[in-house]
Structure 1
Amino acid sequence: MVTVVIALRCADGLVMASDSQITDPGRGLSYPAQKLHRMGEHAAWGGSGSRAVLFDLEQIFHAEPDAILEADDIGRALQQRTVPVLKHHYDNFIEDVPAAKTSGATPATYVLAAGYAGDRPFIVDIDPHGLIGHYEETGFQAVGSGAPMAQQAYALLANFRMTERSVDHGLVAALRVLDALAVSSPSVGGPMDLCRITADGAHHLDPDEIDGVRAQVARWLKLEQRVLDELFD
């Protein structure tokens, strides 16, 4: 199952994005599923790995967003809620199930959250060992089996200095990264989910708004092509 969830920091906010393709090789199924979720009014989160673990975490994060976002340490607040769920599933996971050896049904799960705690932006992840990572300074993080490809795609855009540009620029960059992954990996697929987050709140884009962002991606590509065409003139 290839999943990718990304978060990036911009000059005036944050962007979270994900694909929505779930592939279950054990059952030979692919289907869309929501990977980005609200966390109160000023944050969002997504995850990769076991759907059972992510379902349990969704219930917890939905019920306790204020307690998480008002905590002195957002990473610790997420860790305190995530680790018991991970441990429960690890303790009860049956490793050797012959009929499911190729299913990839490991409970190993990553969680990635981004948003505002007061006027402070944060990008935090929790890995399958329960370790906390902070990425406000680096300005980008990706989780999921597609994360290495996302890191590489974003690195190719480094010269555009997205951390110095607006959230609108960040949305275009995030969608361009996801579209690049969709071309290179058949298990990454749409519809793509995008969320713009500022100190005023988090907004999950609807399909029409995402189409508008994709039109801007197309315009960006045409401008790049024009520059390249004229490079040796």
Structure 2
Amino acid sequence: MDRPRTRTDQIAGDLARAILSGELPTGTRLDEHSLAQQFGVSRTPVREALKQLGGLSLVDVRPHRGAVVAGVHATHMGEFFEALGEAEAICARLAAIKMSGVERDRLEEVYQRCDDALAREDREVIPVVNREFHEAIYAGAHNAFLADTVLILRRKLAPFTSAQFRLAERPPASKREHAVVMAAIRDRNGPAAEEAMRRHILSVGRAWAQWASEAGLEVATD
């Protein structure tokens, strides 16, 4: 299930982090040519990255007029996390039912590494092992279309899901939430795994909104 990030994904992630941090404030013009030079690529991956950010409402892409940084819209973010939560919840339910013994062993190993990183509050390692934990569940769902869909959505939201760990309370909270998901998967309890994962992802969304507020990010609410 682990796949290398494309150059487009990397550029979109870097630009998203710059937008979220305020380095690229609302209204900043994003010139494809300048960005291509900055990232050392052709204009094609830059154009695709801007489309990704447009889909997240971080960038306003205007035909024949270029792209500008848009205000982060709280309503849109809530909808994105709601969609991710539902997709991941289905994956968790299917994984609880369909995972093989080998896949369960792999998930346990990844879970322990993620749990340890969360306990240490190792903010360098946490995003990596957290992603591995979730992707092991996608793989265990044994539904390639669903796994591909949720992977695309999670990768688009990666800058937002990573931001949560800048809050002091999120590593221990995430640790507790993962434990509930794992308990349900161990018990092969699909409905419990589904509900636990849904609650976990919605908590991530609320944590992002809190981080954005504390970071002084201008978030539109209308």
Same fold per TM (> 0.5)? no
Q: Which has the higher contact order (CA 8 A, sep 6+)?
A: 1
TM (norm. structure 1) is 0.31
TM (norm. structure 2) is 0.32
Larger strand share, 1 or 2? 1
Larger helix share, 1 or 2? 2
